[in-house]
Chain A
């Protein structure tokens, strides 16, 4: 398996359709601030590894959209999506947003590692997963704040929406903190769509199946697309409609 390397030394805005293995480096002293999006849509690939290295003063927002087309088909293999965010130098800031829809009996493991290696680094993860049919998902989040990485700030937030009674979502956050004066937090939700919201929309004449779509779109917006710049959002829309 080849590894694609992406070395960025100026501002970038890109949308990619699936890479199996990718190393992303944002280079030192470049004052660069990039926004990238990966669309994982090839259901035949079992493992995806995304390695991110951020040097001094760099800034990355990465959006990962999981849209495997497994509707109505039985899936044999477990899938792994591994994302490592290495905050190598001071003042590096990385944000990873992941949104996914999972169908049939697909089984997906998502591993998120955030390494705050130096002072004043910031690493954030926010995930929103929608589980249909009898899909399973297990998200692990590890935040590692290294010794001397004081004033670091990181979080892991994972939201899972169960759209069928046979789905299972698990989430496990771990914080390892070896420095002082840091902020690190985690939060996870696993649940169905909100009954009071469903009832409110029904009372205004909406059909149940439309309500699901509306509420799912709303959650997707709140946790994912709302964080995109307008430019990236437009690129993403173009990409999806192709």
Chain B
């Protein structure tokens, strides 16, 4: 099997202040795998996720740099085109959209993607997903992310993931802000998505989440916008024990 996502010689800066955040980064993510990205605060993990989906706040600075999705460059595609190709990036801080109910948002995004599905298909999948996340049915009457707790916002992201069934899910700190039970519930949902064939990239600070997720294949450590180390699940243990300092030396 090939690679679903290839980051090639990618350098990225923030448009606002021209801060160079990512430097000549290359990483390959195999199809139908689970990978973990770790790294200290401010090392550029979220910026990488946002650049992959096309956040206009970031620019690729070097023309040679590229992002390949199934071997095709996506760097000049519009944001929604990347999404419709099958890339889903969950946000570290999901945006609040007042007055738009989760229900209508989910319905519209579902039918944007699955044009031939019936309303009953949607309803069935929605109810199943709510149950999987142990959310009450009236959760979807709330405004999208507005006045939701930190943990509820993360569940709202996973609810969208469950319905949209992307080919690739990049989950940026999906575990931060979750209580012990919620972490288990969300991990279970991620495993479900993975078992349906979605490739998973987890950005996290904690070993905790990775203990609940099955079949983690690769671990990448990013520091100062560069790939510093690649390994398997054992690398997470090492980091937990010795911290990031041990890597630089």
Q: Could you tell me which A residues sit within 8 Å of B by CB distance?
A: 195-197, 199-208, 210, 214-215, 217-223, 226
Contact = CB atoms under 8 A, between A and B. Distances in A.
B91 A207 contact: no
Interface residues of B, number: 27
Given A202-B80, A206-B112, 14 more contacts: A199-B79, A200-B95, A202-B79, A203-B54, A206-B80, A206-B108, A214-B105, A214-B108, A215-B97, A220-B99, A221-B100, A222-B98, A222-B99, A226-B99
Nearest to A195: B56
Interface of B: 53-56, 78-80, 82-84, 88-89, 91, 94-95, 97-100, 105, 108-109, 112-113, 143, 160, 164
Q: Is the interface of A mostly helix, strand, loop or mixed?
A: helix
A197 B146 CA distance: 12
A191 to B, nearest CB: 14
B53 A203 contact: yes
A222 B143 CA distance: 10
A204 B56 contact: no
A205 B84 contact: yes
Contacts, number: 72
Nearest to B109: A204
B91 A200 contact: yes
**Interface-centre pick from A202, A207, A222 (highest chain B CB count, 10 A):** A202
A197 B105 CA distance: 13
A197 B79 CA distance: 13
A203 B89 contact: yes
A217 B99 contact: yes
A226 B98 CA distance: 11
Contact of B78 (A202, A219, A220, A226): A202
A237 to B, nearest CB: 15
Nearest to B86: A205
A203 B79 contact: yes
